[in-house]
């Protein structure tokens, strides 16, 4: 049996104008088949300028049309989609040009649920749900309309998935996980595994059963290989619109506020609370049981060890230097404590 075919999107500028809610300047019958960078665009391509540093590339760009700020529209001789936020318009356009499967295989015999999938009789699948090869959907699970369960996925007992959720291949949802509408979970992600909870009795670590679950809101995206642990008692909560990059660890009982972005290889220890509209850079470590307020940005490779209660940009760590200079500075840094004590003694002996 053949798989679903990829349908290559194609739009006129008039259609794109309506779909993206931006005006057209120039020939709105121009047909667009793909997006491309300014440097590599050719006939049939739509490109964009979001960063002024690339403005010099406009002169040589071969795109059939451009997404531009209205202030730059007079500088080019090709049709334009005019946007006050070209990068956001490009982001929305990219969704239109993503390849989508058609409704059936080449012979029209593609079935929505692959024959090798294992689905409990007590699971509920909404309309237009697709389930890939070797996927497992356990008892009591509910899958919303239009959702896609990729090959080798496991949807555990009593999970709840909203409408138009996409699980790419080999995603694992433990029991009781809840996903809102339009969530995207990339391959290898594990949601709902036990939180890292143990009590030491003097000789050994005694496991604390993790009795909570994971609740994820609408429009959340979770990157490949990321792990979100279930709560010990209360749920781990990921609010609407959160974007989580690849290989991120979120510990038990964490709460991540709406529209926060967490970049790759960051780790949140248990019971961390992050506010709304935060940006956590790549490789950031956040120790547990602290809070970060709304609209905080933490620079890459920083270590957060205290609560942050004021919006702003925060950084830690040592910036990259030539190795010999770094070594000299490291030696100096190791002597600061002694130097500080000497300064204090000198200050005590100064006349008033």
Residue positions annotated with a catalytic role = 252
Sequence-ordered list of residues with C-beta below 8 angstroms from that of 119, at least 6 positions apart, any chain: 113, 125, 131, 136, 137
In angstroms, the CA 128 to CA 171 distance is: 20
Which tokens belong to 143?
Answer: 């899958």
- Asked whether 151 and 171 are in contact (CB, 8 A), the reply is no
Question: In angstroms, what CA-CA distances link 142 with 54, 87, 158, 338?
Answer: 48, 36, 7, 63
> Which ranges constitute the DSSP H helices of 55-183?
86-97
Torsion of CA 242, 246, 251, 256, to 10 degrees: -10
- Asked whether 23 and 81 are in contact (CB, 8 A), the reply is yes
> How many CB atoms are located within 10 Å of the residue 70 CB?
13
Locate tokens 């989580």: which residue?
Answer: 244
Number of residues that make up the chain:
352
Q: Taking the alpha carbons of 289, 292, 294, 295 in that order, is the dihedral positive or negative?
A: negative
With 0-12 CB in 10 A as exposed, 13-18 as middle and 19+ as buried, what is 210?
Answer: buried
> Over 289-304, what HEC string results?
CCEECCCEEECCCCEE
Residue 301: φ, ψ to 5°: 65, 15
In angstroms, the CA 316 to CA 287 distance is: 14
In angstroms, the CA 91 to CA 50 distance is: 11
């Amino acid at each position: 049996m053949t798989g679903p075919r990829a349908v290559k999107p194609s739009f006129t500028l008039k259609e794109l104008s309506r779909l993206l809610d931006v005006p057209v300047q120039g020939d709105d019958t121009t047909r667009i088949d793909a997006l491309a960078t300014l440097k590599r665009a050719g006939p049939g391509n739509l490109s964009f300028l979001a960063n002024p540093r690339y403005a010099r590339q406009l002169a040589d760009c071969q795109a059939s049309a451009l997404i531009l700020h209205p202030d730059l529209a007079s500088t080019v001789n090709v049709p334009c989609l005019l946007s006050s936020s070209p990068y956001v318009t490009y982001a929305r356009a990219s969704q239109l040009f993503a390849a989508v499967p058609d409704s059936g295989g080449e012979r029209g015999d593609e079935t929505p649920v692959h024959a090798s999938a294992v689905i409990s009789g007590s699971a509920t699948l909404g309309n237009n749900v697709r389930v890939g090869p070797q996927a497992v959907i356990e008892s009591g699970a509910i899958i919303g309309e239009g959702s896609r369960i990729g090959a080798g996925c496991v949807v555990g007992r009593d999970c709840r998935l909203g409408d138009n959720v996409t699980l790419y291949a080999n995603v694992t949802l433990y029991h009781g996980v809840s996903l809102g509408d339009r969530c995207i979970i990339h391959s290898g992600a594990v949601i709902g595994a036990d939180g890292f909870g143990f009590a030491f009795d003097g000789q050994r670590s005694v496991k604390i059963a993790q009795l909570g679950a994971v609740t994820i809101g609408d429009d959340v995206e979770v990157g490949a290989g990321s792990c979100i642990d279930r709560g010990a008692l209360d749920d781990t909560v990921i609010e609407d619109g959160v974007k989580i990059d690849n290989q991120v660890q979120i510990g038990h009982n964490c709460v991540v506020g709406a529209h926060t972005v967490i970049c790759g290889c960051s780790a949140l220890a248990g019971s961390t609370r992050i506010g709304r509209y935060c940006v956590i850079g790549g490789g950031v470590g956040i120790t547990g049981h602290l809070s970060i307020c709304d609209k905080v940005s933490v620079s890459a490779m920083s270590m957060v060890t205290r609560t942050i209660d004021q919006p702003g940009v925060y950084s830690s760590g040592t910036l990259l230097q030539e190795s010999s200079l770094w070594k000299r500075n490291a030696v100096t840094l190791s002597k600061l404590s002694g130097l500080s004590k000497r300064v204090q003694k000198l200050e005590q002996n100064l006349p008033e």
